[in-house]
Structure 1
Amino acid sequence: MKALVINCTLKKSPEPSHTEELASQVAARLDRLGVQTEFVRAVDPAIAPGVVTDAGDGDGWPRVHEQLLDAEIPVVASPTWLGRPCSVAQRVPERMDATMSETDEEGRPVAYNRVAGVAVTGNEDGAHHVISGISGALADIGYTIPGQAWPYWHPGPGPGPDYLNDERGRDWAHSTGRTMADNLCGVARALDEHPLKTSG
């Protein structure tokens, strides 16, 4: 079983990413559960705007699309900016929207029988808003969202330090990340044994 973490940080590799560090806690637990996890930073492959699988020359999304189709468990990881998902975290679900018209060999949308989750960091409030927005988009596309399929971290009300610079709340965020990984893996394996069907 494979997972893909799409890190929507605004920072290009190899700059340290607070969001990637939190998502790595989820990946470590998935690894212990026998799930192979791959990371991609959405800012690195020059993803074009749009709601298509391939926007033409120079578009970096087709490779990410292939990685998504190869993974049973995608995780969208986003920083919080102004209490909202960052601009990159908006672009990723928009590009994923194209999969709603793609079907598997059973005629189901390709996101069916795959589970998804969200990881969020920020030095300000807004994590639950980010989680609900991205989770809702993923559910619309067809992914199953298990209960408590998110960890988040922020230092408290108002602006403050970043994840890598503050130990406060990390134990809770890491514990939540482990629970997220357990739930993602458990539901993914259940769907593998008892796949959802469409009525169409």
Structure 2
Amino acid sequence: MSTQTCLVLNCTLKPSPAESSSELLGSQVLSALEEHGVSGEIVRVVDHDVRFGVSTDEGDGDEWPQLRERMLAADILVIVTPIWLGQPSAVCKMVLERLDAELSETDDDGRMLTYDKVAAIGVVGNEDGAHHVTAELAQALSDVGFTLPANASTYWVGEAMQGVDYKDKQPTPEKTAGTTKTLARNAAHLAGLLAGSPYPAGD
């Protein structure tokens, strides 16, 4: 059984305590991970004063450094975002821009600090675009050093131009629930493998 930890970044545009479909999906991912011995937390990014930029610390009260510290302490990072106009949320894009700084952050062996960490993706929306959003996040997360397992994403997309949100679906759609369980199983497995056999140092 795994003893890994996870940080879920909820990239909803809605500050707490507003209901959020992204929060629901993120909590379901975390619950599925707990079945594999992974403990963790969900952070709603918009509740924190995260500044725009591409450094690890933009100063002047920027709260990204605290979130980054929690991210680097975790074995698994899950980013959950809604879809707006077929795109990841602005909050999600800001998070990706902040992660760009990890390209120049390395350990004594020249490896990015995100090496040996697993990433996964959750997407919700009531319009098309889940595959496009997943592709954008997967490419970005891989670029900055995370490893994605097989079936690294879970999503729900409602009928186009309708008002039903994921949080309004009771019970949880069977396909999404099954995909979430697969994501959790594979992410926990991969995190355990990387913990026991880290990536080699660079030349």
Normalised-by-shorter TM-score class: over 0.9
Q: How does 1:1-200 map to 2 (within 5 A)?
A: 1-167=4-170, 170-200=173-203
* Distance verdict in 2 for CA 1:132–1:168, change over 3 Å: farther
Counterpart Cα distance in 2 of 1:170 and 1:80: 18
Q: Mind listing any 5+ residue stretches in structure 1 that lack a counterpart? A: none
Q: Offset of 1:167 from its aligned partner?
A: 3.8
What is the number of equivalent residue pairs in this alignment? 200
Q: CA RMSD in A?
A: 1.4
Q: Which moved more, 1:49-58 or 1:105-114?
A: 105-114
CA contact (8 A) 1:155 1:169 kept: no
CA contact (8 A) 1:123 1:155 kept: yes
Q: Percent identity?
A: 44
Counterpart Cα distance in 1 of 2:94 and 2:167: 25
Q: Offset of 1:195 from its aligned partner?
A: 1.1
Counterpart Cα distance in 1 of 2:66 and 2:202: 31
* TM-score (norm: length of structure 1): 0.95
Counterpart Cα distance in 2 of 1:105 and 1:30: 31
Counterpart Cα distance in 2 of 1:140 and 1:188: 18
Q: Secondary structure at the match of 1:56?
A: coil
Counterpart Cα distance in 1 of 2:142 and 2:162: 30
Q: Which moved more, 1:153-162 or 1:31-40?
A: 153-162
Q: Which amino acid aligns with 1:75?
A: V
Q: Offset of 1:102 from its aligned partner?
A: 1.4
* TM-score (norm: length of structure 2): 0.94
Q: Mind listing any 5+ residue stretches in structure 2 that lack a counterpart? A: none
Q: Offset of 1:130 from its aligned partner?
A: 0.7
Counterpart Cα distance in 1 of 2:161 and 2:172: 15
Counterpart Cα distance in 2 of 1:83 and 1:154: 11
Query: How far does the alpha carbon of each residue in 1:137-169 deviate from its partner, in whole angstroms, 9 at most, with x for none?
Result: 000001001111111001234444111123487
Q: Secondary structure at the match of 2:41?
A: strand
CA contact (8 A) 1:124 1:160 kept: no
